[in-house]
Structure 1
Amino acid sequence: MALIGVFDSGVGGLSILDEALCQLPEHDYIYLADSINAPYGEKSSEWITARSLELCQYLAKQDCQVIVVACNTATAQAIEQIRHALKGIAIIGVEPGIKPAAMHSPKGIVGVLATEATLKSDKFNALLDTLTPECQFIKQAGAGLVPLIEAGQADSEAALELLAEHLEPILNAGADTLVLGCTHFPFLRRSIRKLLGERITLIDTSEAVVRQLKRQLELQQQTIEREHHGKITFLSSKDESSLLTLAKELMHADLHLHSIQARAFS
């Protein structure tokens, strides 16, 4: 079994952890939420890089064999620096699923809902430049959505109203596909469906990220014990009890099958 670190600015990376527990429940996990500093998307690139590196270095010191940077903003701003500093550890990032969206959009019009920092990052725009010019991308910053999700209000009227405002330019452009370009945003699926029904295809990359995690573990020849459920340690820089409560509310995985700890991190 491996010890896997999963880091996010807050609870968004729980969407990645949830998928990991479905595919790879036998491993041990440390989930680190830097909720006192969420959201990252409104901070400077220098701050994001320094803080992301600091937290990944902490996970490395806990003997994590693999670290998942389960934050689109941190991946966009800091993944190269993290990999350079932690060369002996497999580092897996996340990025908006604009490539599969472009391939599957019938009309070639794709909305991208992400943080301002992700949409402005060199990494995101370099990826955008590799895609077919026939596909039109409608970029929309989801300002204000992350704090609502962090507060446990993903299904609230406030989230619904703000989401409708952010989705309006995407819908007006005729998009048939929507990329959830922040790991927090899969927790808005119910609200999106309430607003749009099934008329738009939603793309998030949780499954693809965990497939990459699985490949890394296979390269390390980690033993697979399908009947075993590993330990999960939840760390929060703000409130570990609130993090655990939100994990139980937002995740589909049966956390009762795992040994759970929740601790403060500073």
Structure 2
Amino acid sequence: MHNSAAIGIFDSGIGGLSVARAVRALLPQESLIYLADTAHAPYGDKTDDYIYQRMQLISQRLLHLGVKAIVVACNTATTAAIARLRAECPIPIIGVEPGVKPAVAASKSGVVGILATPRTLQTPAFANLAQRFAGEAIIELQPCPLLVKHIEALDFHSAQTQALLKSYIDPLLAKGADTLVLGCTHYNFVADSIAAIAGPGVTIIRTEMAVAKQLQQRLTQAGLLAVPDNTVTDSFFSSGPLAPFCQQLQQLWPGANNNVQQL
């Protein structure tokens, strides 16, 4: 594996672009290949086996494209099946999980709210994560079944989306939560709205930069960091129709539409 090879990043849709942005900011010398599995989105209503099969196929495609590491930029996929993927993949696999540990450390009230897809909150992997890091804190779970659909539609600021966010956030605040965890990479695109609704006394925990730093560490350990003068390219793939994906990229990754392909 050559250090000039690209980093593969995938999600069921556009949520992982928030992680890709963090990787681009931290590692500007790296080339990226982003894959949106939009034909099979959302992952939140799929079984672990179905998600694992998609992860297998996507990782095989990314390996065929010559990537040196893969970032599973989806909380649902990470909690559902990343251990199985790591067991069979020959390159570093970096996942993303809800930031329970930093949230517990940041909380003063001892009550932490988790905003996530229902599927993520139902996985044994998430239960183990919460049990490992909760300590004396109370972990309150808030499934957000409709939010990803709004974000995929680039509906970040409408009155309907704001009302939906408020309906998810208010119950956590009523239980005393002073720290909210964004447990889905899609939610990073409405983080400002979440913070505004929650108020200045509430800490919002995001994990995309932590994932980028973990990737940086793994590449450093493997001697795979690109050199500073590396020729950088960003490529984008979708398993679904390209027109809506290009529209999403136009807003979230300007200039990407020159290098978008069908998976």
Residues 69-102 of structure 1 show CA distances to partners (whole Å, capped at 9, x for unaligned) of 000000001101111121x111001100001100
Aligned partner (choices 90, 93, 101) of residue 92 of structure 2: 90
Q: Offset at 1:22? A: 0.3
Consecutive unaligned residues of structure 2, counting only runs of 5 or more, are none
Q: Name structure 1 gaps, 5 residues minimum.
A: none
TM-score, normalized by length of structure 1? 0.92
* Aligned counterpart in structure 1 of residue 156 of structure 2, from 154, 158, 161: 154
Across the aligned residues of Structure 1 and Structure 2, the Cα RMSD in angstroms comes to 1.8
Give the equivalent residue in structure 1 for 2:211.
Answer: 209
- Structure 2 Cα separation of the partners of residues 27 and 85 of structure 1: 25
State the one-letter code of the partner of 1:234: F
Q: 1:259 to 1:50 in 2, by over 3 A?
A: closer
The alignment-based identity, stated in percent, is 38
Q: Are 1:134 and 2:122 an aligned pair?
A: no
Tell me the alpha carbon deviations over residues 3-25 of structure 1, each in whole angstroms, 9 at most, x when there is no partner.
11001010000010000110112
Cα drift, residue 195 of structure 1: 1.9
Residue 235 (structure 1) aligns with = 237
Any idea what the Cα deviations from partners look like across 1:220-242, whole Å, max 9, x if unmatched?
Answer: 32354446561111111123343
- Taking a change above 3 Å as real, the CA distance of residues 260 and 231 of structure 1, as seen in their structure-2 partners, is farther
The match for 2:28 is 25
SS at match of 1:22: helix
4+ residue segments displaced more than 4 Å: none
d(CA) in 2 for partners of 1:192, 1:132? 23
Task: Give the deviation of 1:136 after TM superposition.
Answer: 0.6
Q: Distance in 2 between matches of 1:244 and 1:259?
A: 6
User: Letter of the aligned partner of 2:259 in structure 1?
Assistant: Q
- Post-superposition offset of 1:249: 2.1
Q: Which stretch has the larger CA shift, 222-231 or 49-58?
A: 222-231
Instruction: Indicate the residue corresponding to 2:61 in structure 1.
Output: 58
**Matches of 2:227 and 2:246 in 1, distance apart?**
26
Shift of residue 164 of structure 1?
1.0
Q: Determine the structure 1 residue equivalent to 2:49.
A: 46
